[in-house]
């Protein structure tokens, strides 16, 4: 059992352990010892999003890593996938991202990447936790790590993103794009990328102040993007989340195009081109309508546990190159080692041959099954609540009512003390009532 690491690194409220300066000094030292153990002079990259607390946590991680004899390269505000790419391309032994992704500014987190730009396996996270329990020690003064900044890190990442395209897209020149950067880590690299493609940009969520990350904007709050696309008669809307690994789209008509839609669109196009390998991998939350639409095309589909790390594990097992989640985490393993909003956006634009106005027509054969999720906030992490006898009995009763017509999923969040109650079925009113009913049992248990 991991003590600090969740499904996406270590996350929590700033000022409450483990998201404190003293803990991050210890974490930096522990991670430096584990991740740099086999290298005479290890190097670790640190990137962060735009939260005010990032300054404090970045300095603390730098101090801890230096105490372990690790050289630190500071990237400043940089998306999670950019840190993953640069860790690999710069030959570093690990990468660190200081971010709480889509959470509000008062939360923050720490996640790590391997030298290959992938998330840490469980055994390495457990080794770091074991090292945290050791007495704090510092290497000899002549072995302390140095710190420097990587110049042009953003430009290097944008160049890499453009290299993932397999063909030019002249059709994009002059197209009107509303880009929502969530006041987050992508507020510079996002506009730079699409300007390079010749698109006309209208920016929202691109003025971070340390407090406004994800506030009323970004991939988890699309109202402003939808209204702006309609008001400006834009060709497309695109939203990042706070750390730039999630992507949501809004079509010219105002339709929200989520991760499920993008996975269907990419799977169909890659199948046509002979580029799709293995089954497409979704999660327990992937809408059943997507599975049905893929089945019509003869595309195999498999479900992993919720969380992009579990999707990645299943993809590797199958040798798949496409997978992801409705939330906008999309993994295109031929193009990136982790979920990358900007790389995914380019893959979708390429699948459309740059004709972004035709996005709605590409999804006309997808018929979603109504799916309702009720988030029940709980004391503690709530991970054991789903197995309480009364909750199990209530879940079985709902499954029996929906037998052969729908599904029920109870899932504790990996990033906040919430149990997500999801019910899926053919009738929206029935599904909504059953979700509320089951959530009430969870809340009372």
Instruction: Tell me which residues are annotated as active site.
Output: 101
Closest by Cα among 321, 309, 305 to 266: 321
CA 373/CA 194 separation, integer angstroms? 34
Task: Classify 254 in phi/psi space as left (phi over 0), alpha (psi -120 to 50) or beta.
Answer: left
Name the token pair of 369: 């099954």
CA angle 133, 139, 140 (to 5 degrees): 155
Which residues are within 8 A (CB) of 43 and not within 5 positions of it... i.e. 6 or more apart?
70, 71, 72, 73, 90, 91, 92, 93
Sign of CA dihedral 17, 101, 2, 26: negative
Do residues 351 and 261 make contact, with C-beta atoms less than 8 angstroms apart?
no
Name the token pair of 46: 């640190």
Task: Classify 225 in phi/psi space as left (phi over 0), alpha (psi -120 to 50) or beta.
Answer: alpha
Going from the C-alpha of 317 to that of each of 84, 113, 190, 320, the distances in angstroms are 21, 20, 32, 8
Q: What is the DSSP letter of 328?
A: S
Residue with tokens 């500014």: 105
Element (H, E) at 424: strand 418-424
CA 218/CA 131 separation, integer angstroms? 37
**419: helix, strand or coil:** strand
């Amino acid at each position: 059992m991991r003590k600090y690491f969740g499904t996406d690194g270590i996350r929590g409220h700033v000022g409450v352990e483990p998201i404190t300066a003293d803990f991050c000094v210890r974490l930096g030292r522990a991670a430096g010892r584990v991740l740099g153990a086999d290298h005479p002079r290890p190097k670790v990259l640190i990137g962060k999003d735009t939260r005010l607390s990032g300054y404090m946590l970045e300095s603390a991680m730098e101090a801890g890593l230096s105490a372990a004899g690790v050289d630190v390269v500071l990237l400043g505000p940089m998306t999670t996938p950019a840190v993953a790419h640069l860790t690999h391309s710069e030959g570093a032994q690990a990468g660190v991202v200081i971010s709480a992704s889509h959470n509000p500014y008062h939360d923050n987190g720490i996640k790590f990447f391997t030298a290959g730009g992938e998330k840490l396996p469980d055994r390495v996270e457990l080794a770091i936790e074991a090292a945290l329990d050791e007495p704090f020690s510092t290497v000899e003064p002549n072995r302390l790590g140095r710190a420097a900044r990587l110049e042009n890190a953003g430009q290097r990442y944008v160049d890499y993103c453009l290299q993932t395209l397999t063909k030019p897209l002249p059709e994009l020149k002059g197209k009107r794009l509303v880009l929502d950067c969530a006041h987050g880590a992508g507020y510079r690299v996002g506009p730079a990328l699409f300007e390079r493609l010749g698109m006309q940009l209208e920016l929202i969520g691109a003025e971070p102040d340390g407090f406004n990350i994800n506030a009323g904007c970004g991939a988890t709050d699309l109202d402003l993007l939808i209204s702006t696309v309609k008001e400006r008669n834009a060709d497309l809307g695109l939203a990042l989340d706070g750390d730039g690994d999630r992507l949501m789209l809004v079509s010219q008509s105002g339709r929200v195009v989520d991760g499920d839609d993008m996975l269907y669109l990419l799977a169909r196009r890659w199948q046509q081109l002979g580029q799709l390998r293995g089954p497409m991998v979704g999660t327990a939350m992937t809408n059943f309508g997507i599975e049905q639409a893929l089945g019509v095309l003869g595309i195999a589909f498999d479900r992993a546990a919720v969380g992009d790390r579990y999707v990645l594990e299943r993809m590797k097992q199958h040798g798949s190159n496409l997978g992801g989640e409705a939330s906008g985490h999309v993994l295109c393993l031929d193009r990136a080692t982790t979920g990358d909003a900007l790389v995914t956006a380019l893959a979708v634009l390429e699948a459309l041959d740059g004709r972004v106005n035709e996005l709605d027509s590409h999804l006309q054969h997808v018929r979603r099954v109504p799916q309702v999720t009720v988030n029940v906030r709980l004391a503690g992490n709530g991970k054991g609540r789903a197995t309480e006898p009364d909750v199990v009995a209530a879940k079985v009763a709902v499954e029996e009512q929906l037998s052969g017509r729908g599904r029920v999923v109870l899932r504790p969040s990996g990033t906040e003390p919430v149990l997500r109650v999801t019910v899926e079925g053919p009738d929206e009113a029935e599904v909504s009532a059953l979700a509320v009913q089951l959530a009430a049992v969870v809340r009372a248990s």
